[in-house]
Structure formats: structure tokens, C-alpha cells
Structure 1
Amino acid sequence: MASLFVVRGRDQGKHFQLQGSVVRIGRDKTNTIQLLDTEASRVHAEIQIDPMGGCRLVDLESSNGTLVNGIPKRQHPLASGDRIEIGGSMMIFTGAGQPGAGQAGAMEAAHGVDIVQQSHRNDGSRIISSIAPSSGIFHSRSLAEAADSSGASASGMGTSRILTPTVTDADRSLEVMYLTAIAVGRTDDLNQVLNRILRLVFDWIEADRGCVMLRDNESGLFQPAARVDRQGTSDRKSGTHRRIEISRTMLDYVLEKKEGVRTSDARDDVRFDSAASIVSAGVREAICVPLQGRYDIVGALYVDTYTDPGQMMARDHAPRFTDDHLRLITAIGHQAALAIEDTFYYSALVQGERLAAMGQTIATLSHHIKNILQGIRGGSYLIEAGLERDDTDAVRRGWRIVDRNQERISNLVLDMLTFSKEREPQCVDADLNETVSDVVELMQPRAQELNVSLVTELAEGMPDAFFDTDALHRAILNLVTNAVDATSDHAKKLSEANQNEGALEHVENEFVARVTVKTWFDPAAGWGVDVVDNGPGVPEEDRLKIFSLFESRKGARGTGLGLPVSSKIMIEHGGEIQVMTPANGKGSCFRLRLPPRGTEPGELSRRDTIA
């Protein structure tokens, strides 16, 4: 099914399925897809879906227009992968993020970087050259010139290293690109990636300071994200390093032209009135390149040199940066941008999935809690009516309903707490038979109420096991509860079928619901509890599915938490839970296995299953 995934804007991370013949997009809540983008029109555009599944985007006379792959379009047939820009939002169309930046001022202060409209000192810099991202690292003849340079040097006609790269320079450039590809491939932490990239740049060129600025999607402003100094550390104490001042004009140029630039202070520029201005400003070179991703610019990479004014006046300085440096850093910036973009999109996707999971959880739990509250309300009504009429029987019936639903909500809360986080079992030496007996005794009234025979077969002479008594009690209780409910429902269905067939008089063939809880011990395999019933059984195709969260076969009565919680408890004990078929081939058998003492976690699952 066709869909839209928002990768930029206030709705970043949201995923919309395109259903129906027309899907309208805009700010108004009447649209099929409502965007929280203030730059979008109330009814901005629509996607028309033909019977063959083809999709066409149509702009509905919007104020700011609609862009497809960066080009304004009134109508456009959509293909998978197309980028749709509506206002400040960007969506990716499929045919079948940026993390919050916080306050810009706080980030600039944290990284020691100032983006200035005009320096308080005279800014004597000028753009010497620029390069577009589509250009290669070297000109097409660069490697040939590099090869020739070695021969020219041998004949006494060597050229300047700054103007013509040597073979070593070319090899190092390829090495830097290779190391960059490795560095950005590990995008587990964005800050680490940015720092690795800056250090690679510093290993190749004689820069004194460098920083990476990321562009905020909503404001479009650059905000510092990482900084490295020649001293080799980015952990700076306040006032330890001179703050970097970056020209706003340079950043605007990089953003608008999508080109990297190289600048140098011009001592012969008319803007310098005297040598004093040079002394106050210092001689500085800089390279700033865009971080151009697949779809848009995500930031900028900036490096510069700073010469102390006293040293600058003492001797003439040759430029440290060349056009080859600019080309290579532009290529590095592109690689870095792809990694940054992937990190943003992955964060947005994870956030979207997290919100979807939270929505499913809230909806499911709300449904179960609503059913429980309805039961409590009904029981309360009976109690109130009984008190008014002085009807003790009605009060008892109402209280039984309230008590049963109170138990349901208690079990729900306990399951939620158990499943909510990882817990270290508080294991002690305990009698497994005693824990099983407690569970069966607790469930006997409910089993009798549902006409289910609940019995135990406890192994004799079984040594104490090492387990968390409360946790294992919970796991066994969930299995026994499921078994009692399943056999009771199965008995009702068979009884109804017999009534329909007129076979009710054959009492001797009447189905008797039965649940048996067995314990066993094997020195090599450990301890086990089998909960066996003669109910409908579990189909083979459902045996993995039933352990998924909120997967229930009880309809409105089931929460879908019992089996996942029991499985989680057994895993925390280093054991496991298995679904088996009883020897007679009827019903089901759920087996809890505790490992022998000294068994490593995960080892039990590699052992052979006991028949």
C-alpha cells in the first residue's frame, strides 16, 4: 500500500497509509492527512489514486506551492522515493530526524562557537574559490599531473606542492576518504561520528580549529554540534579556547549556493585601513562546505587557521589551504551528511514506532480496564439495590462480581509491572511442590465455579529448587488460569453442540473439563512444571504467536499479557516455557523448565527437550 513518511517538520516520524481514491493534505482537521505545519495551506494538496494503484499529486492552489524532488509542481505522477515538500514539511512517498536541537544560544555557548553577522573586529576575509558537491576530489588531470610531478622533480623542474599534488597527496586523499567511509558507517552515536570526522580532517590538513554545525529544520538556522581544536580535545573548560567566530555571510552563501568555499584574509584589501586592523583581526584562512544529504542540506563543516597577530607581523605566511583541500573536505562533507541523514531518519522512524506501540498499548489496556470497570459498576448496582431492599442474596451476588473484577484488575496491574522492565530474580532455595500447591489452592474456587476439575500430580522426593517464589508463582498462576478458562469455554461449546444435536441425554459421554498440574525433576535437565488440559489445544501455527504482547485467544476477557509475562519470568530465571501436545494428542501442555544449578543463561534452550 502506498504511504507517506514525514522526515522533516513538526510531524516528523509520522507514517500515513494512503487509502481511498483521494487523500487530501493540509493544515485543516478535515483533511485526510492533517499537518501541524503553519506554512501549509488549510487544504494544500491531494493525492489521487487510480484503480490500478497509480498516484498523482495535485496542488490545490496553495499559498506556498508544492515541491516534488525540489521542483515546484502543480501536478505530478508519484514514484516510490519521491520527496514531497509542503510548507516546512518533507515527506517520502513509497509506492508499495532530526533530534531536537534545543536553544541555539545554549548550544553555541556549549561548543564555543559564535555565528556572527559581522565580527566586532574588522573582518578582512574574502572568498578565494568555491566548489560544488558534484565536482570530484581532484580535477580529471590531477592524478596525471601528480605522476608527472615525480619525473619533473627528478629533472630539476619540480612544482610547488600547494599547486600540484604529489602521488603521496593523492594516495592520502583516497586513504582519508576510505577512513571517512569507515567512520560514518558506525552511526551508533552522532556526536562520536562528528568528532571522528573532524579528527580525520585535522589529520590531513593543517587546521587549527574546526566545528560541525547542524541545520535546524524548523528555523533553518545553523547550530554547533561538535568542535575540535588542534590540541586534540573537544572537552573544553570555559575560557580555555578562543571562541570561533563564523561569518553569517559565509554560511548563507554555503546554504544558498550549496557550494563549499575557501576564504583567506586579504592584507591588500581596501577594507583594511591600516596594519592595526590586521593586527587586531589576525590572519585567518577558512574552509566551509555544506553537508549535502540525499534530499537537503543538513549542516555545514567549518575549519580554519588562526595566526597570532604578533607572529603574523613577524613573517610572511604561505596559505595552508588549497583547492585540493576544499575538494576533499567537500567530499568528506557529503559522506558525513549521508550518515547524519540516516541517523535523523532512523531516530524519526524509531520515534514513530515507539508512538505507535504506545498507542496500541494504551488502546488495548484501556479496553480491558473499561470492561473491568463495567463489571465493577454492575456488581455495585446489585449491592446498592440489595441494600435498599434488604436483599442479602443480591448483595452477595453483587459482591462476587465486584470481587472477581477486582481480582482481574489486580492481575492486570501485576502483569504490567512484571513486564515493564527487566528484573533480577530474588532466588532462594524453595520447594517447587509447595509453590504449585499454593497456586492450585488459590485457583480451586474459580475452577469449581466454572465446573473444571483442577488436580495436581506432584513428584515425590524432589529436592529444593533455586527460584524467585513470587515470580514463579505468578508464571504458574497465569498458565493455570489460561488452562481453566480454555477448558471451561471448550466444555460450554461442546455442551451447546450436544444440545443442538439432541444428545444431552447421553450423560455418560458428557465432556468433563480437566486441568492437571504436574511437577518433575531430572538431575540433567532440572525442574519442571507441566500444566496439562483437555481443552481445544493450541494450533501449530499459533504456538509462537501466543507469546506476543497483547495476543489473546480469550476475546474481551483476555489481556494478552499472561503468556508474555510468564515467558519473561522464565527467561530471567535462565529457563524457558514450551508448548507441547499431551501424550494422548488432545488438549495442550505448557511446560515451565528451571535449569539445573550452575547452568549458564541460554544453555537450557540448547538442551534436548524432555518428552
Structure 2
Amino acid sequence: MRCIRCGHRRGGRRFMRFLHVIEGPDSKAAFALPDLEPQLIGRSTEALPITDPSVSRRHAEMTPDGKNWFIRDLESTNGTLVNDEAIEGRTLLQPGDRIKCGSSVFLFDRTPDDRIPIHTMEIDPTGIRIIHRHGDDDTDHGRGRQRDQLRHVIAGTELAMSDSDQREYLEACLDLILAATGGRSAVVIVNATSGSKADLMLARHADSASLAPIDLNRTLAEVVRQEGTSIVAESPSTSNASNQRCVGAPLRSREQTRGVVVVSLDETSAQTNQLDLELLHVLAGQAGMALEQRLLVNQVLVNSRLAAMGETVAAISHGIKNILQGLRGGTDAVAMALQRDDLEMAGRGWNVLARNLDRIQSLTMNMLGFVRNRAFDIERVNLAELTTEAKELLVAQTSRADVQLEIELPEDLPPVPLDASAMLQALLNLLSNAIDASTAGGVVTLRASYDFEKDLFFIDIEDSGGGIDPQVRERLFEPFVTSKGQRGTGLGLVVSRRILEQHDGALECHESNASGTVMRMTLPGNPTERDPADTDSPDPLDGELGVEFGEPEH
């Protein structure tokens, strides 16, 4: 007999709680919740390191109180939901509760290793006395019992159609099986094969408070897996002198056995009849189909991500190819000019090189902004200095396009809370687009204002072009959608909008009073402030990767 440890605690030690991300950009991440350390959910530097832009900077706070954990919403934009219900005030959390913040869903639970111990026993098959096989004759068909079984089958169907993840579903399925069979405990083994380690083993007691070890008859599980049918059997028990009666059923789907569930019956329960065996067989079959469905969903997600990756590579490769062609043309012109000692031709070739170097730098910065998120360093910044720096970096582009760039800022404009390097990238993207859209001899105007009542900053960038086609406008903020043809990659506006949203702001497109377009940036004047109860978060389990936005070089 060998013992598989699943986190059983002795001596009254407490379980450490974990916060598992089961939906959202950080799916499959997990954060430890140490005792006596309040935790902040959000995107600020002191919060748990999540990257969901729909989560507020300070979204919700989790605080321990003795053996319990509580959560409260911090007046977030989208609110905080526990089990799909919006919370108001301090709310007690229970293991298994689902917490939704923005588009992210967290599961409040123990560490995946804090599970009930399972003792597996290798028993000589001759020591198992088989009592029933699925399909054996039985005469007990009481109508009341049939109604109860139908109710359990309906509950199993509803559970199989839920959107829970695999572990959460299997735990709920074990609870249902124990209620349906009157069993004392149950163990499910997923993808178990003879002589190999199971992919997943979960155990449940009918008494949810019990953490006593469970005896698993591994031989019975193997017989059920090989025969693909449900079996009732008796075998020796390690906990007492009497034999233990167990029921095993396969988790089957499309003629494949994806796992086995073994239920230990109460010694005082009535004799297991054919209907009980059929019920377990049906519930286990539903579980097999549910596991198959979740596997297929995961495969679809992987395939869709690969397809999106292919689209990304194709679009970026096309942009890089055009840039390389420009670089090749510029170098050929410079080489020819050097041979002919023609400085005028060399100057034209150099301008081609400079333009394409600017394009590849812009593409690289936007690619980084598109695929990576980082925690911003928000500080009060003088907008006049930031916009002046952006204007200086765009001197060459405005000169080539014969476009004038004007900046109109009120003298009493207060400092703006923002991340300077990230906002500089957004400004360069939007101003560059406006310059490209404007006709020769035109003007691009940057205006800023502050609404004291709403406590909002507005930054408008207006071009003097012919406007944006309505069909393009509808998809303007989608990746790889551009109105520049081969000169654009369709990432600049996507990255700029993401930067604004990570500042709790917004980026919108409007028509100007003339024929051009106005891109409006909105920024909060007073981002969510810390209160004295704030605490710094612990280090993430696996570390956090981030990308620092560098300043473009022209």
C-alpha cells in the first residue's frame, strides 16, 4: 500500500488560501493569500500582479479576520461580483466562491495540493468479490426511487452544461454522485492508465468537513477502466476489519474511457441494487462527456490563438517587408550617389533610409505595446514639456509632409497624472497619424483642457485631412485595421487606446468641424487614491514579466 499526499494537515494547522484566475487575460495564474496579510485586487503597483485592463487600479480589497476572509469593493468602475451577485460592503468569502472583477474571474480556494489524502491499494484480483455488473438483472424498480434518480440525472445534465473549469466541475460532480448513491466517500481518477500516473485525482467525503484519508481500491479502478463498465465489489479495508463495498464506474465519451470514479459505500446502507448501479453509470457517463466537451473547448481556444498569431505574423511581416524594401531602395540610392559623387542624390537616399528607420522603430514600439502590459508609474507631469518633446521628435516627419504642428495649451493647465514614457508613445502614434492624414500645407493642432467639475483632462489632436471612411471608422480600434494602406500596420491606435485605458482613461474618434478628424484622449484628474488601509502585495508566485516603453529615437 502506498500513500499519495494531497495536502492533509495534522495538528490543527490551517490551510493557506489561494486565489486562482480561471477566466481573463491572466487565466491559470494563482496567488497565495498569506495569513494576516490583506491583499489588493487591481492594477496598481501594490496590488496582485494582474494585467486585465478592465480591472480598476484599486478594484477590491481582501482582508483576513481570524479563520475567515472578507472582500469589499473599492468603488471600482465595473464593481465586484461574488458568485454573480454585486457586493455592497464587507462580504464573507467561502471556499469555492467565484469573484469577478472586470473581465477576470477568480476562484477563492485552497492550494490545489490541499486535498484529502488517498491511500491506494494494489489487491490481488482474486481478493475482489464482484457483486453486480452493469446490466445484471435486478427487480427493485420502485417509482419513488426512480423519481429521485431522474432528479439526480437532471442535476448532472445541468452541471455538465455549466461553464466551470475541470477541477471545479469534478468536485461538484463528486458531491452529486455521493448524494445520489448515499456513498461515504468518492475518488475520481482522470486519464488513469495501467502502470502510469493519473493526470488528476480528486477525493470528496460525504461529510464535507472531514479530511480523513480515503482508501482507494486501485485494482477495482483498473478493472473498471479495462472493461469500460460499472462494477460493485467488496475488498479488504485498511481502516477496519470488515470488507469495504465500493462501486466503480467509467467516465466514457465517444467509446473512450477518460477516467474512473470509485465510490465507497456506507456499511449501514442498503444493498446496492441495479438502479443504483445504472444511476452511477449514467452520472459517470455525463462526466465523461463533460470532460470531452471541456477538452474540445480548450482545443478550440488554442486553435483560435494560433490563428490570431498567424494573422499577427502575416500583418507584421507585410509591414516589415515594405520597410525592408524602402531600406534597400535608400541604400542603393546612397551607394549610387557615392559612386557618382552626387551629394544631392545621397541626400535623397538618406531621407528614404531615415523614414524607414522611423517606421521600423515605430512598428517595434507598437508591437511591444501590443503584446505586453506593464504596471505604469503614475506621476504628475507637465503636459507642456511632454508635448514639446513629442513635437521635437516629429520635426523630420512634419518637414517631409509639409505640415505644421501647433500646440495650444492653457497657461493654468494643472499637471496631469500619467506615465510619461507610455503617454509619449501614445502622443507620437496619434500625432504621426494626424500628420500622415493631413494634406501638404495643412496644420495639425493639439489642444488640451481641464474640466474642474468632472475632474477630467481632455487632449484633442485634430488633423486637416479628408476624414476617415465610415467603414474604416467602425473598425478603427481593431488590430491591423488601417487607413494608410501599405504604410500602416494597424497597431498604433490599438496600443494608444490600451495605454489610455490603463490610465483609467479613454480614446475616441470624432469628426472635426472642418473636414478632418479629432482624436480625443480623456484622462482622470485624480486617479484612485490609496487609503491608509492599503497594503503592498506579496511577490507573485512565478514572477512578473514587463516591458519598459523606450523613447523613440529620430
Whether these two folds match at TM > 0.5 is yes
| CA shift in 2, pair 1:306/1:520, >3 Å | closer
2:323 and 2:241 mapped to 1: Cα distance? Answer: 74
- Residues 1:447 and 2:398 are matched in the alignment: yes
What are the within-5 Å matches in structure 2 for residues 354-393 of structure 1? 354-393=305-344
Answer whether contact 1:130 1:260 (CA < 8 A) is retained: yes
Answer whether contact 2:334 2:346 (CA < 8 A) is retained: yes
Q: CA deviation at 1:568?
A: 0.6
Which residue of structure 2 lines up, in the alignment, with residue 202 of structure 1?
178
| CA shift in 2, pair 1:140/1:562, >3 Å | farther
Which residue of structure 2 lines up, in the alignment, with residue 408 of structure 1?
359
Answer whether contact 1:552 1:560 (CA < 8 A) is retained: yes
Q: CA deviation at 1:357?
A: 0.5
| CA shift in 2, pair 1:431/1:382, >3 Å | same
| CA shift in 2, pair 1:476/1:235, >3 Å | farther
1:234 and 1:397 mapped to 2: Cα distance? Answer: 80
Q: CA deviation at 1:373?
A: 2.1
Give the TM-score, by structure 2 length.
0.64
Q: CA deviation at 1:559?
A: 0.9
Residues 57-114 of structure 1 deviation map (CA, whole Å, 9 limit, x = unaligned)? xxxxxxxxxxxxxxxxxxxxxxxxxxxxxxxxxxxxxxxxxxxxxxxxxxxxx99687
What are the within-5 Å matches in structure 2 for residues 39-438 of structure 1? 119-120=123-124, 122-126=126-130, 128-131=132-135, 142-143=142-143, 146=144, 173=149, 176-177=152-153, 179-181=155-157, 183-205=159-181, 207=183, 210-215=186-191, 223=198, 225-228=200-203, 230=205, 242=215, 244-247=217-220, 248-254=222-228, 259-264=229-234, 283-293=243-253, 295-305=254-264, 320-438=271-389
2:411 and 2:327 mapped to 1: Cα distance? Answer: 43
| CA shift in 2, pair 1:433/1:139, >3 Å | farther
1:317 and 1:588 mapped to 2: Cα distance? Answer: 79
- Residues 1:563 and 2:493 are matched in the alignment: yes
Give the TM-score, by structure 1 length.
0.59
Answer whether contact 2:472 2:481 (CA < 8 A) is retained: no
Answer whether contact 2:141 2:275 (CA < 8 A) is retained: no
The letter of the residue matching 2:233 is: T
2:310 and 2:400 mapped to 1: Cα distance? Answer: 36
Q: Which has the larger radius of gyration?
A: 1
The letter of the residue matching 1:339 is: A
SS in structure 2 opposite 1:321?
Answer: coil
| CA shift in 2, pair 1:589/1:173, >3 Å | same
Answer whether contact 1:288 1:301 (CA < 8 A) is retained: yes
The letter of the residue matching 1:542 is: V
- Residues 1:595 and 2:524 are matched in the alignment: yes
1:234 and 1:245 mapped to 2: Cα distance? Answer: 25
| CA shift in 2, pair 1:222/1:183, >3 Å | farther
1:231 and 1:318 mapped to 2: Cα distance? Answer: 13
Q: CA deviation at 1:123?
A: 3.2
Q: CA deviation at 1:195?
A: 2.2
- Residues 1:583 and 2:543 are matched in the alignment: no
The letter of the residue matching 1:142 is: G
1:587 and 1:193 mapped to 2: Cα distance? Answer: 54
Residues 461-485 of structure 1 deviation map (CA, whole Å, 9 limit, x = unaligned)? 2122211121111112111111111
Which residue of structure 1 lines up, in the alignment, with residue 67 of structure 2?
none
The letter of the residue matching 2:289 is: L
| CA shift in 2, pair 1:299/1:260, >3 Å | same
2:312 and 2:171 mapped to 1: Cα distance? Answer: 39
The letter of the residue matching 2:225 is: L
Residues 190-239 of structure 1 deviation map (CA, whole Å, 9 limit, x = unaligned)? 0221122223323444545533344589x9x99453331649689999xx
Instruction: Give unmatched runs, 5+ long, in structure 2.
Output: 1-115, 530-554
Q: CA deviation at 1:333?
A: 1.8
Residues 301-359 of structure 1 deviation map (CA, whole Å, 9 limit, x = unaligned)? 4324499xxxxxxxx99875332321221232233233222211211110110110011
Residues 439-475 of structure 1 deviation map (CA, whole Å, 9 limit, x = unaligned)? 2232232112112232222223212221112111111
SS in structure 2 opposite 1:246?
Answer: helix
The letter of the residue matching 1:225 is: L
Q: CA deviation at 1:188?
A: 2.6
| CA shift in 2, pair 1:231/1:335, >3 Å | closer
Answer whether contact 1:112 1:244 (CA < 8 A) is retained: no
Answer whether contact 1:121 1:281 (CA < 8 A) is retained: no
Residues 572-609 of structure 1 deviation map (CA, whole Å, 9 limit, x = unaligned)? 1111111111123x111111111232579xxxxxxxxx
Which residue of structure 2 lines up, in the alignment, with residue 521 of structure 1?
450
Answer whether contact 2:247 2:265 (CA < 8 A) is retained: no
Residues 360-410 of structure 1 deviation map (CA, whole Å, 9 limit, x = unaligned)? 111111121222222223323333444455544444433332232222111
Which residue of structure 2 lines up, in the alignment, with residue 483 of structure 1?
434
Q: Higher helix share goes to which structure?
A: 1
2:333 and 2:258 mapped to 1: Cα distance? Answer: 67
Which residue of structure 2 lines up, in the alignment, with residue 574 of structure 1?
504
Residues 401-439 of structure 1 deviation map (CA, whole Å, 9 limit, x = unaligned)? 223222211111111222223333212111223222222
1:556 and 1:234 mapped to 2: Cα distance? Answer: 64
SS in structure 2 opposite 1:286?
Answer: strand
Which residue of structure 2 lines up, in the alignment, with residue 37 of structure 1?
none
2:158 and 2:333 mapped to 1: Cα distance? Answer: 71
2:192 and 2:324 mapped to 1: Cα distance? Answer: 47
Which residue of structure 2 lines up, in the alignment, with residue 16 of structure 1?
none
Alignment root-mean-square deviation, CA: 4.1
The letter of the residue matching 1:534 is: S
SS in structure 1 opposite 2:134?
Answer: strand
| CA shift in 2, pair 1:401/1:357, >3 Å | same
| CA shift in 2, pair 1:288/1:242, >3 Å | closer
| CA shift in 2, pair 1:113/1:551, >3 Å | farther
Which residue of structure 2 lines up, in the alignment, with residue 497 of structure 1?
none
2:125 and 2:289 mapped to 1: Cα distance? Answer: 36
1:298 and 1:513 mapped to 2: Cα distance? Answer: 70
Count of residues in Structure 1 that have an aligned counterpart in Structure 2: 413
Answer whether contact 1:462 1:521 (CA < 8 A) is retained: yes
Q: CA deviation at 1:558?
A: 0.3
Worse-superposed segment, 391-400 or 445-454: 391-400
Answer whether contact 1:187 1:339 (CA < 8 A) is retained: no
Answer whether contact 1:454 1:515 (CA < 8 A) is retained: yes
1:244 and 1:140 mapped to 2: Cα distance? Answer: 27
The letter of the residue matching 1:556 is: Q
Answer whether contact 2:410 2:449 (CA < 8 A) is retained: yes
- Residues 1:551 and 2:481 are matched in the alignment: yes
The letter of the residue matching 1:593 is: T
Answer whether contact 1:282 1:306 (CA < 8 A) is retained: no
Answer whether contact 1:456 1:517 (CA < 8 A) is retained: yes
Worse-superposed segment, 542-551 or 385-394: 385-394
Answer whether contact 2:367 2:491 (CA < 8 A) is retained: yes
SS in structure 1 opposite 2:518?
Answer: strand
Instruction: Give unmatched runs, 5+ long, in structure 1.
Output: 1-109, 147-164, 266-275, 308-315, 492-511, 601-611
Answer whether contact 1:111 1:227 (CA < 8 A) is retained: no
Pick 1 or 2: higher relative contact order, CA cutoff 8 A, min separation 6.
2
Identity over aligned residues, as a percent?
26
